[in-house]
Amino acid sequence: MRLLSRAWRTDLPRVVLLLQAGNAFSWFGYGLILPFEIIYLHQFRGFSTATAGLVLAAILGTGAVLTPPSGALLDRFRPKPILIASNLASAIGFAGFAFVDRPWQAFACAAVGGAGVGVTRTANQTLLITLVAPEQRAASFALGRVAQNFGLGLGATVAGFIVSAAQHVRSFQGLYLFDAVTYAALALVVLAVVPNRRDATVHAGVRGEGFRAVARDRLLLTLTAANLVLLIVGYAFFANILPPFVKAHTRVGPGAIGLLFLFNTLFVVIAQLPVTRAFDRMRRAQVFASACAFFAIALLGVLPVTLIHSTLWATALLCGVAVVFAIGECVHSVVLGPVVADLAPPHLLGRYMSLLSLTVTGGFAIGPAIGGALLATSPDAVWWGGGLIAAVIGAGFLLSGSRIPDAPSTATASNVLGDPMPEAA
């Protein structure tokens, strides 16, 4: 018990723990609506499935478009008020979905809500980086993953029970309105618990720098490009392509598909912090390569499922794949965010983090398109091709050796806001 408690101890400042609790509540709200967005717009608002899909794409697209400008904004102004404003925008946008009855109204809500979501992701990460010491960044990102998975998983589960018990438009309206409440609650948490410190950074605009300076960082561009590919062949293939593949090519039913996602989410929640400690002493290039190896094994592990005639054993293998992939997720989150934060000069931190956020949005947007095309032409190629690509990227990380820094540079070694760290919890 003492060993487990030690593995879960983060030693992060109390303000970070409270902020991550607010993030978990916000993700819970998003989890309430995530599985049922198209169902709600199609069955209860009368939109065609194509229109409903375009509404959801508008949320993602607006967030992607506003991600780079949000980085520039964060390099000029404090992240606290930006994060509050973006969460309030999300609250307004998603609350509006409860009352839409025409497509143009839904697209307007998607634009407002998507703008809030796009800015929030970058502002949240930037704010958290300013609240911790450089050596605490891995733990902070890891706790963020726990908050996200716990909130999403719990929210989707609760929503499933609510919708099953009462399939009425008011049930969906209640879910959207509660989702809006969680965004507003996060804004209040940020307002109440985050100190309003004086910004000691040198703004990019003063030096005449901007994304041109970011573009000159070849290591950053290489890492983000590799991350984009990993998000496509890993996260997006697992989340978007695995369910239709399993349904069409195996004996596994919808219930088992839900079970493997439950295994994945629960494992991330339980194992993320211990995994962070386990990989903390490894060189970062090796950690990157380890994440790629777990992704490759998980992707290749999907192929034998088509040969298994027992539903039970096929389900068991898929749950094992979900766990292996979850380990890869945990290892991946240990290293990527902290490396990008360590590479960033203080006056360009917002832009660096916006580029990282953009790879996430881009990966989940491009992945389903590529995976869907492969699924239609050569279903097995999704998995052996994705596994091969992950393995090649992992080998590239191993060969990169000392190019990936194992400690923050001198420029980023001090707290970005220039004030002492709050007392650790």
The full set of domain ranges for the chain reads 1-200, 210-414
Tell the residue number behind the tokens 């590479």, with chain if given: 343
* Six token digits for residue 74: 């964060």
Return the bridge partners of 13, or none.
424
For the domain made up of 1-200, the CATH class stated in words is mainly alpha
Region of 47 (left: φ > 0; alpha: ψ -120 to 50; beta: rest) is beta
Cα separation of 118 and 20, whole Å? 18
Phi and psi dihedrals of 382, rounded to 5? -55, -40
**Do the first three CATH levels of 1-200 and 210-414 match, i.e. the same topology?**
yes
Contacts 24+ apart (CB under 8 A), 315-323: 315/252, 315/256, 315/259, 315/260, 318/246, 318/250, 318/252, 318/256, 318/260, 319/259, 319/260, 319/263, 321/260, 322/238, 322/260, 322/261, 322/263, 322/264, 322/267, 322/298, 323/263, 323/264, 323/267
pTM: predicted TM-score of the whole model, two decimal places: 0.80
Greatest CA separation for the chain: 65
How confident is the chain (425 residues) per 10-residue block, as mean pLDDT? Answer: 51 90 94 82 87 85 89 91 96 96 94 93 91 86 87 83 79 93 96 72 52 86 90 85 83 75 84 82 87 95 91 90 91 85 87 88 80 86 94 90 65 44 38
Q: Which of 396, 419, 398 is nearest to 133 (CA)?
A: 419
What pLDDT is stored for residue 210 in this prediction? 80
For the domain made up of 210-414, the CATH class stated in words is mainly alpha
Return the bridge partners of 424, or none.
13
